[in-house]
Structure 1
Amino acid sequence: MTAAVDVGLTENLAADLAAAALVLARRFAAGATLWCLAPAWEPHAQHVAVEFVHPVIVGKKALPAVALTGPDLVSTVRVSVRPGDVVLAVAAATEPEVRSVMRRAPAWGVTTLWIGSGARPTAGAADHVLWLDDPDPRLPATGGFVLLYHLLWELTHVCFEHPGLLAPETPECTDEVCITCSDEGRLGEVVAAGRDGMAQVRTSEGVEQVATVLVDPVQPGDLLLIHAGMAIMKLGET
C-alpha cells in the first residue's frame, strides 16, 4: 500500500487501470496479441511482454505479448498488428514515434494503452491512458511504471477468473443515427496511391478502395478521414 501511495495511485488512476484491464482481457479472450513499445526505455517494453507471456503465478494463463524495439517503430508496428490487437506504450507524451503509432492505431483496428508521467497526452490520444503526474524524469527508474503494468497484469487475470466479463460489448443501435453502425468519419492510412483518383487505404475493416479526388495528391502513410468510400480530409500526425 505504501508503494502505491508513493507513486500516486489515485482513485481515478485505479479506475483507469480497472477499465484498461477489462478491455485487455476481452481482447486476449478474442485472440489478440499485445505489442509493447518503449522507445526511450526499451527494458520496460521487454518487461511488460515477459509479464504476460511468462506468468509467475501457477495456474495463470500465458498471454501473447511481444516487445517491439529498434529503429522506425511506426513501420514495425504497422506490419505487426492485426485488427483486434492491443498496442501498449511506456513513454512520455512527447515521444514522436509513440504519438504517431497512437494516431494511426484506429486505421489499423487496434486498441491503444499509454503509460507515462509528467505532461499528459492530448485528450483522446489513446484509448486508455495510465498516467503519473510526477514530472521527475527519474521516475521510470523508481518503479512507478513497473507498479502500473504489474497491476494491469494482475487485474487482467482477475477478469479471466470471471468469464462472464469477457464477452465483448455489443453496441446498442436505436432509431436515431448510430455512429458505430454508420459510415461516419472513419480513419484510414494510405497503402498505395493510384493515378485515377483512387487509393488503397487501410482501415479497421481491412484494405479498401477509396476515392481521393478531394484530397489528392496522397502518398503511402497519409492519414485520411473517410466517409461513404471517399476521403474528405487529409489529417496530420497531431
Structure 2
Amino acid sequence: MTVTLPDAPLIGDELSADLAAAALSLARRFAAGATLWVVSPQWEPHAHHVAVEFVHPVIMGKRALPSVALVEPDPLAQCRVAARPGDVIIAVASADQPQVRGIMRRSPAWGTDTIWIGSGERPPAGTATHILWVPSDDPMVPATGRFVLMYHLLWELTHVCFEHPGLLTPTTDDCAGESCVTCGDEGRLAEVLLPPATALDSALVRTATGEEYVDVTVVGEVSVDDLLLVHGGAALTRIGDEGVA
C-alpha cells in the first residue's frame, strides 16, 4: 500500500508496514474490550479528530469504537486516571513533547498499548508500542493532510481487521519460547500509589496486572507517582525522568 502524489510518496513502504501492524494490534485490543484515549497537547484538533474517527462509524455497518479525546492541560494526569489495563493511548505530538514522553514512559505500568503519531526527529525505538512517523523536518507537516491521512488509514485498516475475525485472537502462545514476560526472570514497571507509612511497611503500586504491595527497602524513600522496577515483590531501582521502559 503506497499512497502518492504526482511527485512524492505520502505513505511509503516502511510507514505502510507500521500502519498495518498498529491497526492489527488496535483491532485486537478493541475486540478484547479496550477504550482508546487520544492526546495531542500541541495540536488539540488532532485529538478530537482521531477520537471522532473511531467513535463515529460513517460507513454503513461498521462498529462504533470507544474513543475519547483527553484535552485538559495535563494529559498525563488524565491518562493516569482514565486508562485501564488493556486500553490504548494514541498521541499525536512531536518527539520532544514532555507530557507525551511521560505518558509513553509510564504506560507499561498502566498496562496500556501506545501509538505515537508525529514528524521530525523520531522517538527512540521502543518508546511506544507503535510509532507512525513522517521523516520530515518541515514544521508545517502537522498542519497538512499527512497526519490526517495516517490516522484515517489507521481507522480504516482497523475495520479491515474486523472483517477477518481469525486475526483478532493471537495464535501464538504468550508463554512459548525461552523468554516469557509473565513467567520469566524479568522486572516490571510500577508506579507508586501510596508510599510506606513506616520503614517496615510496603508501598502500594500500580502495575500492568493491577495494584499490589512491594518492598522498597532497596530503593529507600519513595513518593507518589515514582516509577520503580519491581521483581519478586521487591523494588529493585527507581526509574528516572529520562528512563524508557
Q: TM-score, normalised by structure 1?
A: 0.95
Deviation at 1:6, TM superposition (A): 4.3
Query: How large is the RMSD of aligned CA atoms in angstroms?
Result: 1.5
Q: How many residues align?
A: 237
Residue by residue over 1:201-236, the C-alpha shift from the partner in whole angstroms, topping out at 9 and shown as x without a partner, is: 100010110000111110011000001010001001
Match 2:207 to one of 203, 208, 214: 203
| 1:169-188 equivalences in 2 (<5 Å) | 169=171, 170-174=173-177, 176=178, 178-182=180-184, 184-188=186-190
Identity %: 59
Answer yes or no: is the 8 Å Cα contact 1:214–1:233 preserved in 2. Answer: yes
Structure 1 residue ranges without an equivalent (≥5): none
Q: Does 1:81 align with 2:83?
A: yes
Distance in 2 separating the partners of 1:73 and 1:201: 21
Structure 2 residue ranges without an equivalent (≥5): none
Amino acid at match of 1:171: D
Match 2:16 to one of 1, 14, 17: 14
Answer yes or no: is the 8 Å Cα contact 1:197–1:213 preserved in 2. Answer: no
Deviation at 1:57, TM superposition (A): 0.9
Change (3 A) 1:222 1:143: same
Q: Which residue of 2 aligns with 1:29?
A: 31
Q: Which residue of 2 aligns with 1:236?
A: 240
Distance in 2 separating the partners of 1:4 and 1:153: 25
Match 1:221 to one of 222, 225, 232: 225
Segments of 4+ in structure 1 off by > 4 A? 3-7
Amino acid at match of 1:200: L
Q: Does 1:58 align with 2:60?
A: yes
Deviation at 1:99, TM superposition (A): 0.2
Change (3 A) 1:11 1:217: same
Amino acid at match of 2:221: P
Q: Which residue of 1 aligns with 2:110?
A: 108
Deviation at 1:173, TM superposition (A): 2.2
Change (3 A) 1:6 1:52: farther
Deviation at 1:111, TM superposition (A): 0.2
Q: TM-score, normalised by structure 2?
A: 0.93
Residue by residue over 1:50-106, the C-alpha shift from the partner in whole angstroms, topping out at 9 and shown as x without a partner, is: 000002111111000000001111111100001000000000000000000000000
Which range is displaced more, 54-63 or 39-48? 54-63
Answer yes or no: is the 8 Å Cα contact 1:106–1:204 preserved in 2. Answer: yes
| 1:106-185 equivalences in 2 (<5 Å) | 106-169=108-171, 170-174=173-177, 176=178, 178-182=180-184, 184-185=186-187
Distance in 2 separating the partners of 1:6 and 1:65: 32
